[in-house]
């Protein structure tokens, strides 16, 4: 039994879709979220910068005495997590590996589709993670430049003609190749689930990295005896590195419920060096 919070970070607010899933499967856990909204996006930055930012973000979360860290940012998960994992005394879950394992388990015909931002697809992180699990998997990917702006503009409901048109266009080459499993490789995409479902039909498994990370976090806490079974009401704290106003407005959309708990702006640059404990 462990009352310490779970720490989650993302380069922006998309990581709140992972928080949503963690709240669902681990309703008793306290949470600390950091969204690096002042330095978003990570995907276009250099390897060194991504590692530096990730260390920074984890240093900040560590000041809240977290018991586990969830790296909800795909870029940080693939580039920085393998480097920094050993530097922190808590177990870490990254979205890429969780989603790759879930996709490997879900596919029957071995054909897996991956969609994401142009930076994520160019990084080839999902393909590498999938091939590390099973080199025989066929991976078909497609960058979807307009889905993040679309979701951020609130246009993700079933009835949105532009959303429907774009998703159909982006998924066409993947469906033509006969994929039976689709990794929604961007934290924003779960909001478009209804549209993806309509376009893919019922026979394609949709893998949401946030949901798989939440499931893996639960398994990890169970295994290591770290669950919070106090039955006390959950406490959540949210931190950002830019304006809190814009964040509060969008947070509800990504969480699927109003933001509970305090929201604070911090100067993340101050956490470049780890505090001595």
83, 157, 165, 219: residue in contact with a copy of itself (rule CB under 8 A)? 165
Helix (H) or strand (E) segment spanning residue 52: helix 47-62
- Catalytic annotation present for 73: yes
Region 12-51 residues binding a copy of itself, contact defined as CB under 8 A = 44
Query: How many Å is the Cα radius of gyration of the chain?
Result: 18
Annotated binding residue at 43? Answer: yes
Q: How far is the CB of 196 from a copy of itself (least distance, A)?
A: 17
Query: Of 77-85, 98-106, 151-159, 184-192, which part binds a copy of itself (CB under 8 A)?
Result: 151-159
Annotated binding-site residue? 11: yes
CA distance 6 to 22: 9
Site for a copy of itself in 212-271 (CB under 8 A): 243, 246
Does position 150 interact with a copy of itself (CB under 8 A)? The reply is yes
Of 56, 144, 186, 200, which is the active-site residue? 186
DSSP sequence for 140-205: EEEE-TTHHHHHHTT--STT-HHHHHHHHHHHHHHHHTT-SEEEE-STTGGGGHHHHHHHH-TTSE
For residue 272, what are its two tokens?
Answer: 């470049």
Among candidate residues 20, 28, 21, the one with its CA nearest the CA of residue 4: 28
* Residue 49 or 63 with smaller CB distance to a copy of itself: 49
Residue 98 annotated to the active site: no
* 157 makes contact with a copy of itself (CB under 8 A): no
Positions annotated as catalytic residues are 73, 186
């Amino acid at each position: 039994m462990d009352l310490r919070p779970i720490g989650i970070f993302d380069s922006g607010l998309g990581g709140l879709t992972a928080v949503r899933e963690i709240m669902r499967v681990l309703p008793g856990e306290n949470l600390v979220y950091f969204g690096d909204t002042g330095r978003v996006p990570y995907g276009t930055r250099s390897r060194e910068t991504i590692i530096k930012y990730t260390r920074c973000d984890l240093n900040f979360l560590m000041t809240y005495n977290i018991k586990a860290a969830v790296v909800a940012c795909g870029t940080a998960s693939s580039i920085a997590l393998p480097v920094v994992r050993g530097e922190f005394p808590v177990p870490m879950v990254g979205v890429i590996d969780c989603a790759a394992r879930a996709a490997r388990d879900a596919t029957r015909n071995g054909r897996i589709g991956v969609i994401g931002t142009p930076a994520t697809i160019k990084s080839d992180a999902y393909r590498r993670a999938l091939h590390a699990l099973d080199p025989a998997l066929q991976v078909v990917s497609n960058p979807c430049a307009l889905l993040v702006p679309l979701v951020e503009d609130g246009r993700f409901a079933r009835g949105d003609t532009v959303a429907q048109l774009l998703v159909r266009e982006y998924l066409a080459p993947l469906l033509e190749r006969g994929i039976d499993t689709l990794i929604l490789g961007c934290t924003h995409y779960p909001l478009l689930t209804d549209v993806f479902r309509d376009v893919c039909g019922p026979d394609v498994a949709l893998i949401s990295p946030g949901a798989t990370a939440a499931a893996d976090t639960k398994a990890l806490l169970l295994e290591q005896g770290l669950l919070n079974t106090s039955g006390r009401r959950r406490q959540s704290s949210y931190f950002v590195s830019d304006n809190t106003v814009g964040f509060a407005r969008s947070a509800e959309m990504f969480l699927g419920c109003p933001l509970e708990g305090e929201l604070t702006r911090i100067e993340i640059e101050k956490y470049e060096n780890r505090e001595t404990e």
